[in-house]
Structure 1
């Protein structure tokens, strides 16, 4: 996969809009790694199951079925070096949450790949994962949402093979989460605030989007 390939949301390409949500997050003063992701917390369990048009279901299912491995392919040396700088910096920041080096690198590589595949902002998605699961692979909410991005089991029936146990697989969970968030962004015409609210099941309320924006500040990097 070529770096950067895929649909890109407006907040990802417009530096002013991206700056605005990062600055706004900073104003909340909620940036600590442990503050927003206490053990046992889960937000996305309030996702609402809703009917999907056949065309939408087909697109989402096709995105999930594409099992290309998360191996980046760069068009030039500078892009590769930029990625390696980002990977090293993120690995250092994530060390307390994921002490094993290989596990940490595989997780970050997969997040990087899946966010670009879905046209999402990697920094924001890392913030979302921090809020949702505190980077715990086997996190389960009180209503059964699972894994890093707290995917509700009904999604495995709607756009997967119906086996919710697969939601604990790292790549499966991150791919479902990114595809679902991309779907919500498309529904909200690129409005990150509303898409995050829909992902959480609290569309229009500020608590969850603000929490994600604040957590995302922990993952800002010039090479992101």
Structure 2
């Protein structure tokens, strides 16, 4: 359902005023950063959806990434790449939570790299040896594409798709961990 822009803006202003009595008003730099991030977030249906999702997820992500600019940039990328791949952005956040705890320089014991722990052999498979898997945009593009492929291969079964992503098909531990993070930290009620 589409709401007129003025109604959304009014609702947001009233909500911000009500919450201002509970917490301190955001710093002007953060407000400016949020406005720029929303303006660049083309994967959302409308500006209001972008503002609500980005603010909600930024608050949840703060414990892992204290820098607001870094958080908002990552969230915009997550939403963009997940949407492009037909995935729920919150699933991608849960997977990143499980794989790297939002450490873009994470390297696993088997050599997987970046936030989504992508195996470097994919660069050779794609003929793109120059790609940097610790670059969040690159890592998210690879990881979301891989997860989307496995989700389609498994006919929408997220448990099996996650197990394939992790290389642990037939073992329930990894999908349970990711979906646990999704339910406990990243789930958004409709």
Fold match (TM-score > 0.5): yes
- Aligned mate of 1:168, from 114, 128, 134: 134
TM-score, scaled relative to structure 2: 0.74
Contact 2:86–2:148 under 8 Å retained in 1:
yes
- 1:73 Cα deviation from its structure 2 partner: 5.5
Which structure: larger Rg?
A: 2
- 1:74 Cα deviation from its structure 2 partner: 5.2
Q: Taking structure 1 as reference, are residues 191 and 73 closer, same or farther at Cα in structure 2, changes over 3 Å only?
A: closer
Q: Which residue of the partner structure matches residue 158 of structure 1?
A: 125
The residue correspondences of 1:127-166 to structure 2 (distance < 5 A) are: 127-163=94-130, 166=132
Rounded to whole Å, the distance in 1 between the matches of 2:158 and 2:105 is 27
Equivalent pairs counted in the alignment come to: 150
- Aligned mate of 1:80, from 34, 44, 47: 47
Contact 1:181–1:195 under 8 Å retained in 2:
yes
- Show structure 1 runs of 4+ deviating over 2 A: none
Rounded to whole Å, the distance in 2 between the matches of 1:141 and 1:186 is 26
TM-score, scaled relative to structure 1: 0.63
The residue correspondences of 1:101-116 to structure 2 (distance < 5 A) are: 101-116=68-83
Give the number of the structure with larger relative contact order, counting CA–CA contacts within 8 Å between residues 6 or more apart.
1
Rounded to whole Å, the distance in 2 between the matches of 1:188 and 1:159 is 23
- 1:113 Cα deviation from its structure 2 partner: 0.6
- Aligned mate of 1:99, from 66, 69, 72: 66
Rounded to whole Å, the distance in 2 between the matches of 1:213 and 1:131 is 9
- 1:161 Cα deviation from its structure 2 partner: 0.5
Q: CA RMSD in A?
A: 1.6
